[in-house]
């Protein structure tokens, strides 16, 4: 009996060892992924995309050693919807993150809107394939739904094993001394309303004291309480924005509140490098989501005043240095041939942003428009660079239409995962195009949204090098960064451009100047009808009830509302 038991145990041990060897061998063939996204970077800010004054040698080297996409398109010209589409491979309105009105991004950490729990990110699918997944940097897709601790929208609930960084984003409120940009005009309006009301209330009180009017004390008390409650309802969330919105979390714990911008760059790079080092012997995915170059601009001392373009140029050059550090750690660990590295921006540069020293937003090169300007190329055309040593051809340039949503099916297929069959995917696997096995993009049509409203469509005819773009409406933007999707100019007939020959969208085509003009409009009309049949809109995550601040959802370290902690 003992002999049988020993034989059984020995056999079990051998099978276990063999199984682990097979698993490890299989894992060794799986590529790692390092996805690097900058916030608000203009495509014209990078050397290999035409900039000859801002120095970006590390990003340029990535392009030289890999594949550069020239028509890489974000699904939205704003952070929250663009990142939702990137994560899921689906247009943001399919996730409820397309705006229907004033609120176009998540405005408060203590809000209930965000990426819904039933959405599938590429990180979730890679976890199932044995990957360790991490995000270092910016999230901006929500935190909690009903309680401070449910973390239903948190990265840990969306497939990321590890999270370190900003669950929110950078707003002006995050940098002491800057003006606010969270509903700033509404704050001013409310202030102008509350001050006359306060004066009127004080006048009534004085009239009662000197007996000019007979007013019941209970009525005055009621009015005073209502006024104070209304005032505090708006004042408190805005007064504490820096403390409550601008924080750092490690997984689900708040570790710095408010965050220290002076040390943020070094902390993010240390976390990103350590994640790669910890997981170098097994497949991993790292999403390095930089808070740069979103305003308020912050800069390390080593880069201050070094560029020819002021604080913004300094910021871009620091980003380039950060990308270089990620490449160095990959090469130091001999992971280059096992690691697909990807570089992009979430959308175009912000052409509205200025301060006392002048313009501090991005440059979108020859492309019209920018961040928050739906439809125009400057708001949605972004850098797209892939490097995978000895797998992808070096120095290759692809002019075909591609999308940030293509990352989802590309990494899932490379990891050996199964794409979800229970939902519509809008992205396509890029690998055949990157490797040169096919010359044409699978994106015959691409749909460009302003919130939930379809405002433009791209058509790349299979029999042509042209890429036609049809604008149904264009957004009317004011001088205060306000580009709202319901304040627009409709075009009948629609504006038609060939963005291959006219990438600046300067001269609309007509039936007289383009033989295919009528065909373009008909084909696009048919494509829109087919596309709209696939749409089933879920709950609007950017509605006022979902985006307004709720104290019971506010992440906090220490005693709420006096949240305060710092990392050592």
Q: Which residues are catalytic?
A: 79, 140
Among 20, 212, 269, which Cα is nearest to 130's?
20
Tallying the residues shown for the chain, one arrives at: 568
Pairwise CA distance, residues 13 & 118, whole Å: 40
Residue showing tokens 């979103």 = 294
Pairwise CA distance, residues 44 & 152, whole Å: 37
Among 108, 146, 141, 242, which Cα is nearest to 552's?
146
Pairwise CA distance, residues 420 & 88, whole Å: 10
Pairwise CA distance, residues 338 & 535, whole Å: 38
Among 271, 261, 383, which Cα is nearest to 315's?
261
Among 265, 310, 413, which Cα is nearest to 45's?
310
Pairwise CA distance, residues 483 & 350, whole Å: 12
Cβ atoms of 67 and 434 within 8 Å: the answer is yes
Pairwise CA distance, residues 380 & 72, whole Å: 8
Among 296, 305, 308, which Cα is nearest to 361's?
296
Contact partners, residue 328, CB within 8 Å, separation at least 6: none
Burial of 184 (0-12, 13-18, 19+ CB in 10 A): middle
3-state secondary structure (DSSP) of residue 155: helix
Structural tokens at position 159: 């497939």
Helices (H) and strands (E) in the chain, counts: 14, 18
Angle at 445 between CA 97 and CA 117, to 5 degrees: 25
Per 3-state DSSP, what percentage of the chain is helix, strand, and coil (rounded to 5)?
Answer: 40, 20, 45
Pairwise CA distance, residues 13 & 121, whole Å: 37
CA atoms within 13 A on the CB side of 235: 11
Give the largest CA-CA distance in the chain.
108
Which contiguous run of DSSP H or E holds residue 61? helix 57-65
Among 230, 108, 231, 233, which Cα is nearest to 180's?
108
Contact partners, residue 314, CB within 8 Å, separation at least 6: 297, 299, 303, 304, 305, 306, 307
Pairwise CA distance, residues 27 & 282, whole Å: 7
Name the DSSP class of 180. P
Helical spans, DSSP H, in 210-309: 217-239, 241-245, 261-278
Q: Cα 369 to chain center, whole Å?
A: 18
């Amino acid at each position: 009996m003992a002999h049988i038991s020993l034989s059984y145990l020995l056999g079990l041990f051998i099978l276990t060892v063999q199984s682990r060897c097979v698993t490890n061998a299989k894992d060794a063939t799986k590529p790692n992924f390092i996805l690097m996204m900058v916030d608000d970077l203009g495509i014209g800010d990078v050397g290999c995309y035409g900039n000859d004054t801002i120095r970006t040698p590390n990003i340029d080297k990535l392009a030289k050693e890999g594949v550069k996409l020239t028509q890489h398109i974000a699904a939205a010209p704003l952070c929250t919807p663009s990142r939702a589409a990137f994560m899921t491979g689906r247009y943001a309105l399919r996730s409820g993150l397309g705006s229907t009105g004033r609120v176009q991004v998540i405005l408060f950490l203590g809000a209930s809107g965000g990426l819904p729990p039933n959405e599938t990110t590429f990180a979730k699918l890679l976890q199932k394939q044995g990957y360790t997944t991490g995000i270092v940097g910016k999230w901006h897709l929500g935190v909690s739904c009903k309680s401070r601790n449910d973390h239903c929208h948190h990265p840990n609930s969306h497939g990321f094993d590890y999270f370190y960084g900003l669950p929110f984003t950078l707003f002006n409120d995050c940098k002491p001394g800057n003006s606010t940009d969270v509903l700033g005009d509404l704050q001013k309006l409310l202030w102008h309303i509350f001050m006359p009301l306060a004066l009127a209330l004080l006048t009534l009180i004085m009239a009662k004291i000197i007996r000019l009017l007979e007013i019941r004390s209970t009525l005055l008390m009621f009015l005073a309480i209502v006024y104070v409650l209304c005032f505090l309802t708006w004042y408190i969330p805005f007064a504490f924005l820096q403390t409550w919105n601008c924080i750092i979390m490690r997984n689900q714990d708040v570790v710095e509140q408010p965050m220290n911008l002076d040390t943020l760059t070094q902390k993010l790079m240390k976390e990103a490098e350590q994640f790669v080092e910890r997981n170098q012997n097994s497949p991993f995915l790292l999403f390095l989501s930089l808070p740069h170059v979103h305003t308020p601009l912050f800069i390390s001392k080593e880069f201050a005043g070094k560029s020819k373009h002021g604080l913004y140029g300094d910021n871009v050059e620091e980003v380039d240095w950060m990308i270089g550090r990620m490449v160095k750690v990959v090469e130091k660990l001999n992971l280059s041939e096992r690691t697909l590295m990807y570089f992009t921006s979430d959308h175009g540069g912000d052409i509205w942003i200025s301060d006392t020293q002048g313009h501090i937003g991005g440059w979108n090169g020859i492309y019209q428009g920018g961040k928050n300007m739906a439809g125009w190329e400057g708001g949605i055309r972004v850098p797209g660079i892939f490097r995978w040593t000895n797998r992808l051809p070096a120095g290759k340039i692809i002019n075909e239409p591609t999308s940030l949503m293509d990352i989802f099916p590309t990494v899932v297929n490379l990891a050996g995962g199964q794409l979800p069959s229970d939902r519509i995917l809008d992205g396509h696997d890029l690998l055949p195009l990157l490797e040169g096995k096919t010359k044409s993009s699978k994106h015959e049509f691409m749909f460009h949204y302003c919130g939930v409203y379809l405002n433009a469509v791209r058509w790349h005819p299979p029999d042509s090098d042209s890429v036609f773009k049809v604008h149904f409406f264009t957004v009317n933007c004011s001088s205060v960064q306000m580009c709202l999707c319901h304040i627009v100019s409709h075009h009948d007939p629609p504006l038609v451009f060939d963005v291959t020959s006219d990438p600046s969208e300067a001269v609309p085509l007509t039936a007289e100047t383009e033989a295919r003009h009528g065909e373009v409009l008909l084909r696009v009309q048919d494509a829109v009808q087919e596309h709209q049949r696939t749409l089933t809109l879920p709950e609007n995550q950017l509605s006022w009830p979902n985006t307004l601040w709720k104290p019971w959802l506010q992440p906090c370290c220490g005693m709420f509302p006096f949240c305060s902690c710092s990392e050592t």
